[in-house]
């Protein structure tokens, strides 16, 4: 996605340990026009599938997910990183965060993830794939069908795609970062 590639090269910043900071347009301040274009591209790539629900995980997945849900006129549900005291019927998994170096609990109500659902999962980053594996676990527990996973940015050198594809799940990433070493952002053409 040319527009996104240009923006990453223009405003993205790399940090030690293979971290790409895009907080001026995705992770902190957000660019709604770019976010809409991102959602249009997700809709294009998953056209012809039978998706009836968009799923994401808080917090940075919510913006692209809601834009995608809006365009498709579909409900959007997000997995929560803290269990609300009012949530009864919930599915639970654990995810290890490489950026924060900790393991956290993730929950989702099984009122909003049903065995009849065909789910498209949307998130900001695919790195080692731990968040994605947690999501695959939640979806498996719910009995829903996972149609595919769409990421704004994939860091190919951290190999999360391999883990997801081993579960037979389709992956679409709008920008694939091949390398961040020497603080040079290299994006797959
Ligand atoms: P994974 O579980 O695939 O290793 O990492 C997924 C999550 O970690 C993403 O949803 C994102 O929140 C965070 N993350 C991983 N790598 C990066 C990165 O380079 N930059 C930013 N901003 N977030 C990242």
Question: In CATH, what number is assigned to the domain containing residue 67?
Answer: 3.40.50.2020
Q: Is 60 helix (H, G, I), strand (E, B) or coil?
A: coil
Tell me what percent of the residues of the chain surpass a pLDDT of 70: 100
| Complex prediction ipTM | 0.98
Rounded to the nearest 5 degrees, what angle is found at the Cα of 80, between the Cα atoms of 76 and 86?
100
The set of protein residues with a Cβ atom below 6 angstroms from ligand 1 is 19-22, 27, 60, 97-99, 123-132, 155, 160
Query: How do residues 23-38 score in pLDDT, each as one tens digit?
Result: 999 999 999 999 999 9
Residue-averaged pLDDT of the chain: 96
182 alpha carbon – ligand 1 mean position (Å): 19
What's the pLDDT score for residue 100? 81
Q: Which two tokens stand for residue 115?
A: 């065995």
- Whether the Cβ atoms of residue 15 and residue 22 lie closer than 8 Å to each other: no
Question: Strands 102-109 and 118-126: what pairing?
Answer: unpaired
Query: How do residues 78-127 score in pLDDT, each as one tens digit?
Result: 999 987 888 788 999 999 987 788 999 999 999 999 999 999 999 999 99
What's the pLDDT score for residue 170? 98
| Shortest-distance Cα residue to atom 4 of ligand 1 | 128
Residue 130: pLDDT over 80? yes
Pocket test for ligand 1, best of 56, 124, 158 (most atoms within 8 A of CB): 124
What's the pLDDT score for residue 57? 98
Could you give phi then psi for residue 59, rounded to 5 degrees?
Answer: -105, -35
What's the pLDDT score for residue 183? 85
- Residue 70's domain spans which residues? 2-187
| Shortest-distance Cα residue to atom 17 of ligand 1 | 19
The domain total for the chain is 1
Task: Provide CB contacts within 8 A for 136, sequence distance 6+.
Answer: 146, 164, 167, 169
136 alpha carbon – ligand 1 mean position (Å): 16
d(CA 117, CA 131): 20
Query: How do residues 131-155 score in pLDDT, each as one tens digit?
Result: 999 999 999 999 999 999 999 999 9
The verdict on whether residue 89 carries a ligand-binding annotation is no
109 alpha carbon – ligand 1 mean position (Å): 24
d(CA 85, CA 189): 46
What's the pLDDT score for residue 49? 98
Position in ligand 1 atom list of the atom nearest CA 18: 19
d(CA 180, CA 15): 8
Residue 185 gets the label, from left (phi > 0), alpha (psi -120 to 50) or beta, of beta
d(CA 59, CA 37): 19
What's the pLDDT score for residue 171? 98
Model confidence, pTM: 0.97
| Shortest-distance Cα residue to atom 10 of ligand 1 | 125
């Amino acid at each position: 996605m040319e527009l996104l590639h240009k923006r990453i090269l223009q405003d993205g910043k790399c940090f030690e340990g293979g971290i790409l900071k895009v907080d001026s347009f995705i992770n902190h301040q957000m660019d709604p026009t770019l976010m809409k274009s991102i959602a249009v591209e997700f809709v294009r790539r998953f056209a012809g599938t039978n998706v009836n629900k968009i799923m994401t995980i808080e917090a940075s997945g919510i913006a692209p997910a809601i834009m995608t849900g809006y365009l498709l006129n579909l409900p959007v549900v997000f997995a929560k990183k803290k269990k609300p005291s009012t949530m009864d019927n919930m599915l639970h998994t654990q995810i290890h965060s490489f950026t924060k170096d900790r393991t956290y609990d993730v929950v989702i109500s099984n009122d909003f993830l049903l065995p009849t659902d065909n789910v498209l999962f949307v998130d900001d980053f695919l790195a080692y794939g731990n968040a994605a594996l947690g999501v695959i676990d939640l979806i498996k527990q719910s009995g829903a069908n996972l149609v595919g996973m769409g990421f704004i940015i994939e860091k190919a050198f951290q190999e999360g795609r391999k883990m997801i594809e081993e579960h037979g799940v389709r992956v679409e990433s709008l920008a694939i970062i091949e390398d961040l070493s020497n603080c040079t952002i290299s994006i797959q053409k």
